[in-house]
Structure 1
């Protein structure tokens, strides 16, 4: 299993950050420009990654003010789990970590690791910009 992640601190309390992330409708604001055909509900999101794949994700688990775990709701190109972990640093600061666990063979790892890291970095920075 390949794990790719990034962390940021946001000047909002943990419940505000969790409330934003727990609703998948908000995740469209975190996506880069190569994501299109977006449709979502609070529990599921579908989109196309330009020149790559269509993905459908659903919330598998929510732990209040701690964790949102997403898994594919349809067949994905590889086994993958996405997690947003939030943690209160203080009353007004939250640490947010975005983690992708992907079951990639050596060839897929060489191809997909860079784009997945870029996606994580983009979304973490965008979360900070949107909520910061």
Structure 2
């Protein structure tokens, strides 16, 4: 299952945005309003929960500065990645898009498609406000 957020314009250079997204503690600023829990576990991992959803641990998997930051599930139970693609538009302006990719059975995919689409949409909207 592959889902993409709308592209958003961020008032940061690609390098600054990449550095911001590479610090997992900064994701607390991007979380949607329905986040019931956010906890930094170490410099590469954080745990979060949305109301009505189980807790998820994300970890920083790869940074390809200044254009890509890849986070992934820390658990093999629900393997997925969340990738931020960043393109510089001008000196202090960049465009970003989030892509969620995971392998799920049809039933699970139906259940999580809506919440995940809303989640990555909220992350993108909040990124545009930085």
The normalised TM-score by structure 1 is 0.88
Following the alignment from structure 1 to structure 2, what is the Cα–Cα distance between the partners of residues 63 and 47? 24
Q: Counterpart of 1:5? A: 4
In structure 1, runs of 5+ residues without a counterpart are none
Is 1:73 the counterpart of 2:70? The answer is no
In the TM superposition, residue 29 of structure 1 has moved relative to its aligned partner by 0.9
Question: Where does structure 1 differ by over 4 angstroms across 4 or more consecutive aligned residues?
Answer: none
Quick check: 1:22–1:42 contact (8 Å CA) kept in 2?
no
The normalised TM-score by structure 2 is 0.89
Coordinate RMSD, CA, aligned = 1.5
The alignment of Structure 1 onto Structure 2 pairs a total of residues equal to 128
In structure 2, runs of 5+ residues without a counterpart are none
Following the alignment from structure 1 to structure 2, what is the Cα–Cα distance between the partners of residues 63 and 31? 23
